[in-house]
């Protein structure tokens, strides 16, 4: 193993949020990092090209490594970002194995070895928002996710709560994260990423029509959070930052809902083009699981001591488009 004293493990470390966490840790002068992931097709290799870390271990081998006494003494923090993140995945057995059972195995190890455990939950757990978007743990059992992915995240949140681990662990409900290092995600890429390519090819951008009379076409609203803000919020809870003594479940979002129309305008502006939006039919399989509104309540995050200013949608889209997408660059 790499000769380091206290390392950080990032599961899903070659993926979107995971590689961005590694990037931010590198910026802080840390490369005592163990990347855990699976990348048999090589689609995530660009995400790691500019990063410094000690080792890369396949996800399926990592649980065996955890049984090594030598390794267990070196791990200080586990960032558990690895999961199946497809909101359209229909195989519940697959989701349970990847998003619940694997997470439980890591969580049990972290609890037994007194390692900091920071894991990815999701705003998909909030469903249609019938109970709002507060990260109050007393509301979590009432939540009704609209898809199986959200249900798998809800299941692990509940496991943590039921096993009285919220006083040790940090669960992060990520809202709509976008930014560099998401190219490998295919259809799960952000609208910013997909629309940039679409506008380059056709000069226009497609948005789903609204089937809810409360929202006009393009008036649907989501909480979009730039990856650079998301990772700042995430590492806030590491042992070397002010949030080291905080635990529980926290929303990771901007705290401000933005319409799809305003997001589209920001993309066109960043590309120095006049907006040209086409409203298209939504696939039938999405209509029953579509979130028309989401807005993170980040009161608890602020009370925990997170003071950083959050980048506006206009600034963040401009940075992403000009400095990464147009430049063909990664973090």
Residue 330 lies in a domain: no
Q: What is the pTM of this model?
A: 0.95
Are 173 and 183 within one domain? no
> Which pLDDT value is given to residue 1?
40
Dihedral (Cα; 91, 97, 100, 101), 10-degree rounding: 160
Are 88 and 119 within one domain? yes
The residue among 67 and 224 whose pLDDT is bigger is 224
> Which pLDDT value is given to residue 129?
93
Across 160-187, b (16+ Cβ under 10 Å) vs e yields bbeeebbebbbbbbbbbbbbbbbbbbee
Rounded Cα distance, 212 and 210, in Å: 5
Are 14 and 57 within one domain? yes
Confidence class for position 31, pLDDT limits 50, 70, 90: very high
> Which pLDDT value is given to residue 196?
98
Kindly state the average pLDDT of the residues 124-140.
95
Residue 331 lies in a domain: no
Are 137 and 199 within one domain? no
Are 112 and 29 within one domain? yes
Residue 270 lies in a domain: yes
Tens of pLDDT, residue by residue over 76-109, are 999 999 998 888 898 999 999 999 999 999 999 9
Tens of pLDDT, residue by residue over 243-263, are 999 999 999 999 999 999 999
Return the H-helix or E-strand segment holding 63.
Answer: helix 59-66
CATH code, domain with 192:
3.90.25.10
pLDDT at 73 over 80: no
Are 190 and 102 within one domain? no
CATH code, domain with 98:
3.40.50.720
Confidence class for position 71, pLDDT limits 50, 70, 90: low
Lowest mean pLDDT among 70-74, 213-217, 223-227, 298-302: 70-74
Confidence class for position 121, pLDDT limits 50, 70, 90: very high
Q: Which domain covers residue 189, as residue numbers?
A: 179-222+256-294+317-325
- Number of domains making up the chain: 2
Residues 176, 123 contacting (CB under 8 angstroms): yes
Are 111 and 212 within one domain? no
Are 162 and 151 within one domain? yes
pLDDT at 279 over 60: yes
Residue 71 lies in a domain: yes
Are 185 and 234 within one domain? no
> Which pLDDT value is given to residue 72?
64
pLDDT at 4 over 60: no
Residue 2 lies in a domain: no
User: Which residues are tagged catalytic?
Assistant: 149, 185
> Which pLDDT value is given to residue 235?
98
pLDDT at 41 over 80: no
Using CB atoms within 10 Å of the CB of residue 142, give its burial: 0 to 12 exposed, 13 to 18 middle, 19+ buried.
exposed
For 36, list phi and psi in degrees, rounded to 5.
-120, 125
Tens of pLDDT, residue by residue over 162-187, are 999 999 999 999 999 999 999 999 99
Are 107 and 227 within one domain? yes
């Amino acid at each position: 193993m790499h000769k380091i004293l206290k390392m950080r493990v990032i599961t899903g470390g070659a993926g979107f949020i995971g590689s961005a966490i590694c990037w931010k840790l590198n910026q802080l002068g840390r490369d005592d990092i163990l990347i855990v992931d699976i990348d048999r097709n090589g689609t995530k290799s660009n995400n790691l090209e500019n990063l410094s870390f000690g080792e890369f271990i396949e996800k399926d081998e990592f649980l065996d490594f955890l049984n090594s006494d030598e390794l267990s003494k070196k791990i200080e923090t586990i960032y558990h970002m690895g999961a199946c993140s497809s909101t359209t995945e229909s195989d519940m057995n697959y989701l349970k194995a990847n998003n619940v059972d694997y997470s439980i195995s890591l969580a049990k190890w972290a609890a037994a070895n007194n390692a900091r455990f920071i894991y990815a939950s999701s705003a998909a757990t909030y469903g249609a928002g019938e109970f709002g978007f507060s990260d109050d743990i007393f509301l979590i059992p009432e939540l009704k996710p609209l898809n199986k992915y959200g249900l798998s995240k809800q299941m692990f949140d509940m496991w943590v709560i039921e096993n009285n681990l919220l006083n040790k662990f940090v669960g992060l409900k990520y809202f709509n994260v976008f930014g560099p290092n998401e190219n490998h995600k295919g259809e799960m890429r952000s609208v910013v990423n997909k629309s940039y390519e679409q506008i380059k090819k056709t000069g226009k951008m497609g948005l789903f029509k609204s089937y809810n009379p409360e929202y006009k076409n393009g008036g649907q609203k989501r909480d979009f959070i730039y990856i650079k803000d998301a990772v700042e919020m995430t590492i806030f809870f590491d042992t070397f930052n002010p949030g080291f003594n905080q635990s529980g479940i926290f929303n990771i979002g901007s705290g401000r809902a933005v319409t799809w129309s305003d997001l589209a305008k920001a993309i066109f502006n960043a590309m120095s083009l006049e907006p040209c939006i086409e409203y298209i039919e939504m696939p039938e399989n999405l209509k029953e699981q579509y979130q028309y509104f989401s807005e993170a309540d980040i009161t608890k995050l602020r009370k925990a001591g997170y003071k950083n200013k959050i980048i506006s949608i206009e600034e963040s889209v401009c940075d992403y488009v000009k400095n990464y997408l147009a430049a063909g660059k990664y973090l």
